[in-house]
Structure 1
Amino acid sequence: MTQPTRGDATVKELVRQHWNGRAGTFDEESHHGIHSDEQHDRWLSVLREWAGDDAHRVLDVGCGTGVVSLLLAELGHEVVGVDFAPEMLTRAREKARRTACSVALQQGDAETLAFPDATVELLTARHLVWTLPNPTAALQEWQRVVEPGGRILLIEGYWDHDEPWDEYEDMYDDLPMYDGRPPDELADVLADEGFSDVTYEPLVDATLWGREPHHDYYIMSGVVPR
């Protein structure tokens, strides 16, 4: 795995600018937002299966416009959503106000979370690790804030684009997991970072994405050792 080639602060600011710029239209894409009752219910089913029936203290890292945060809150979990891009959080707050679900939303860095040790039972992240300058440092940080025996739950993918796009053309070399990773490779990374019972399954149901998936999507869980 390559290491970032310039200062993390510069790379992170470029990442922030990119996602601030996309916030206003992010949910319009079928594979980002929720566009039908069927899609909504299918995502609830997936999250219920993987998060379990018991209510948990959940930290949704890289929450974006709050799609997963709001679904988890609807399932009865106590959810805090964190994102690096303030414009994404603005959209998430607007959506939260239109629902009966309570979600705490705050700005933060996925690699240096402002949470004490062992304070959440479940940490979730969707399509996040590829955007991070130090993804293995982030995994260590996530392990820190999750209580022993708790889990991380990642919705990830492998995009394998021919060319970097938009602002990422200027920084993809600084992102070790740019374009995502096949599930077996990411599972090995989680195991190397100390997570146990790493499991995953494909997310190939077109209902989830509002279209036939064009890439390899999957969900992955890892347990923080006791």
Structure 2
Amino acid sequence: MTHPDRNDDAVKDLVRRHWNDRAPTFDDASHHGIHTDDQRDRWSSVLREWTGDDPRQVLDIGCGTGVISLLLAGLGHDVTGVDVAPRMLERARAKAERANRSIEFYRGDAEALAVPDDAVELVTARHLIWTLPNPERAIEEWQRVVEPGGRILVIEGYWDHDEPWDEYEEIHDNLPMYDGRPPDELRSVLTRHGLRDIEYEPLLDPVLWGREPHHEYYIMAGTVSR
């Protein structure tokens, strides 16, 4: 049974609970973690192409176990990761320590960041928008923390699951972008919120996901124009 009138705090609490419970095994899935050198190299190549060669101040929102954060740090960027789930952050910190990467991870809300205006050059988020009760509010918040001319980069997809599972059985009606969105739809949302120079490309190389991709994955970026 879903509860469309459930308040945001209750929805976010169930989202946090879901990802806390999944933290110990999250990286085990081939399409979540990094399992081979080829997979790491392929992701690094994609991220280098989209972030450029110059080091940037990056805020990785919804960082989870730090997969993208560590890859970006490996490319020379100054990375901070934020996530709602403490157990995900524990794993991210442990992975960064093992890799000898200096990355700050802290708990936070993607829709209300404890970050000053114009604090970073780049915001990144992988498979996050579908988990948010107010995704368009989040996009506005991400623009607030990015300096003018900076970029917002998302790795997203459209998965159209048959049925919601676990905590999402209760809250999927409260998540406007549940199941993700096709790239043209997300591009329209970003355009409506003022991002410019929006580009995207499919991410369908099996090496990226450790298997043949089962969904319509893509990467998209736009420039903050305020």
Q: What code does the residue aligned with 2:30 have? A: S
Shift of 1:130: 0.1
Residue in structure 2 matched with residue 109 of structure 1 by the alignment: 109
Residue in structure 2 matched with residue 197 of structure 1 by the alignment: 197
Contact 1:5 1:173 in 2 (8 A): no
CA distance in 2, matches of 1:106, 1:43: 24
CA distance in 1, matches of 2:55, 2:191: 26
Shift of 1:162: 1.2
Q: What code does the residue aligned with 2:83 have? A: D
2:74 is the alignment partner of 1:74? yes
The runs of 5 or more residues in structure 2 that have no matched partner are: none
| Deviation by residue 1:84-133 (Cα, 9 ceiling, x = unmatched) | 00000001011011012211100000000000000100000000000000
2:185 is the alignment partner of 1:182? no
Shift of 1:166: 1.5
2:140 is the alignment partner of 1:140? yes
**Pairs within 5 Å for 1:11-50:** 11-50=11-50
CA distance in 2, matches of 1:221, 1:56: 15
Residue in structure 1 matched with residue 129 of structure 2 by the alignment: 129
Misfit runs of 4+, over 3 Å: none
Structure 2 length as normaliser, TM-score? 0.98
Contact 1:23 1:87 in 2 (8 A): yes
CA distance in 2, matches of 1:121, 1:97: 24
The runs of 5 or more residues in structure 1 that have no matched partner are: none
| Deviation by residue 1:174-203 (Cα, 9 ceiling, x = unmatched) | 000000000000000000011111110000
Contact 1:11 1:133 in 2 (8 A): yes
Aligned residues: 223
Residue in structure 1 matched with residue 220 of structure 2 by the alignment: 220
The Cα RMSD (Å) is 0.7
Structure 1 length as normaliser, TM-score? 0.98
CA distance in 1, matches of 2:200, 2:160: 19
Residue in structure 2 matched with residue 87 of structure 1 by the alignment: 87
| Deviation by residue 1:39-72 (Cα, 9 ceiling, x = unmatched) | 0000000000000001000000000000000000
